[in-house]
């Protein structure tokens, strides 16, 4: 239990710092859409798909998966900044509200895709996450 | 953003992630349904203080405390607490067990509730001023 606490906390701290570095490196477009948060989120989703597949194949132990999945990828991705950034953009004008809504939908679709791509890369393609969830 | 601020982000992110893990465990022990309730509750409960504190910090406290408070509380704790990657992982799993419609509704519901929570938080902070 104590070990798990340390793994999640250390991983989460590292993940949050990785998110901060990503945000410092990725420029935001002039219309104000938080592209930097999207990049950090997509990267984290891709990596989570990857390590989940590797954990399922027992390439990664439970502890390492806890450090990487719950810790680093969980700390690296964020939902709160994503929705708050969209709220700010939606408030600005009708046009930016439309842009923000489209960006939110695209972000969701890309995030979903990122998990699938990571999962396919990390696991056998014939046994994707969906089949594993079914108990296949 | 200074090097020290990055450390504040790391410290806050560690605490936020720990809280996320704990809430996920507690919810998982009590709720056995298919809906990914843990991640949903985590994200909505993080979106509200994100809206609230972003307004407070940006306008009233920034000059007094600089960027360290934002780095620790917002980017660190709340950013580390909420998660986008686990939400997407939940959606992919839900698509496998309950079909793509359920997965899409879960994502849609999360984002709409999250947007409302963040807007409510911001409105509360603005109303107080």
Whole-number pLDDT of residue B31: 94
Q: Give the residue from A84, A86, A114, A133 with the most B CB atoms within 10 Å of its CB, the best one to mutate.
A: A84
| φ and ψ of A93, to 5 deg | -160, 170
- What is the least distance, in Å, from the CA of A107 to any CA of chain B? 10
* Rounded alpha-carbon distances, angstroms, from residue A13 to A36, A37, A105, B23, B36: 18, 17, 29, 17, 24
Q: Do B47 and A80 touch (CB under 8 A)?
A: yes
| φ and ψ of A8, to 5 deg | -65, -40
Whole-number pLDDT of residue A99: 86
Over residues A47-70, the pLDDT tens digits come to 999 999 999 999 999 999 999 999
Q: Which of residues 76-115 of B touch A (CB under 8 A)?
A: 76, 78-89, 91-93, 95-97, 103, 107-108, 110-111, 114-115
pLDDT at A135 over 60: no
- Domain that residue B88 falls in: 3-128
Burial letters for B27-50: b for 16+ Cβ neighbours within 10 Å, e otherwise?
A: beeeeeeeebbbbbbbbbbbbbbb
Over residues A10-54, the pLDDT tens digits come to 999 999 999 999 988 998 776 677 888 999 999 999 999 999 999
Number of domain units in chain B: 1
Over residues B33-69, the pLDDT tens digits come to 989 999 999 999 999 999 999 998 886 566 666 788 8
Whole-number pLDDT of residue A127: 53
Element (H, E) at B118: helix B100-128
pLDDT at B19 over 80: yes
Q: Which of residues 3-22 of A touch B (CB under 8 A)?
A: 4-5, 8-17, 19-21
Q: Is A56 on the interface with B (CB under 8 A)?
A: no
Eight-class DSSP state of B35: S
Specify the pTM: 0.90
Q: Give the residue from A75, A77, A80 with the most B CB atoms within 10 Å of its CB, the best one to mutate.
A: A80
């Amino acid at each position: 239990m104590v070990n798990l606490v340390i793994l999640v906390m250390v991983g989460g701290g590292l993940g949050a710092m990785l998110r901060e570095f990503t945000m410092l490196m990725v420029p935001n477009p002039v219309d104000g859409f938080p592209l930097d948060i999207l990049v950090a989120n997509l990267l984290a989703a891709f990596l989570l798909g990857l390590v989940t597949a590797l954990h399922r194949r027992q390439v990664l132990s439970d502890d390492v998966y806890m450090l990487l999945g719950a810790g680093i990828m969980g700390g690296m991705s964020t939902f709160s900044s994503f929705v708050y950034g969209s709220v700010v953009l939606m408030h600005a004008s009708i046009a930016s509200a439309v842009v923000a809504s489209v960006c939110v939908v695209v972000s969701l679709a890309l995030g979903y895709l990122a998990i699938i791509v990571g999962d396919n890369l990390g696991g056998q393609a014939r046994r994707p996450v969906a089949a594993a969830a079914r108990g296949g | 953003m200074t090097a020290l601020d990055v450390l504040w982000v790391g410290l806050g992110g560690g605490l936020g992630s720990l809280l996320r893990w704990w809430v996920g465990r507690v919810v998982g022990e009590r709720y056995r349904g298919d809906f990914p309730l843990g991640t949903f509750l985590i994200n909505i409960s993080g979106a509200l203080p994100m809206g609230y504190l972003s307004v407070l910090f940006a306008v009233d406290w920034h000059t007094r405390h600089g960027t360290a408070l934002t780095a620790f509380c917002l980017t660190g704790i709340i950013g580390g607490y909420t998660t986008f990657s686990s939400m997407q992982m939940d959606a992919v799993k839900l698509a496998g067990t309950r079909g793509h419609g359920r997965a899409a509704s879960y994502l849609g519901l999360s984002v709409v509730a999250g947007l409302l929570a963040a807007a409510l938080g911001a409105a509360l902070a603005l109303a107080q001023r």
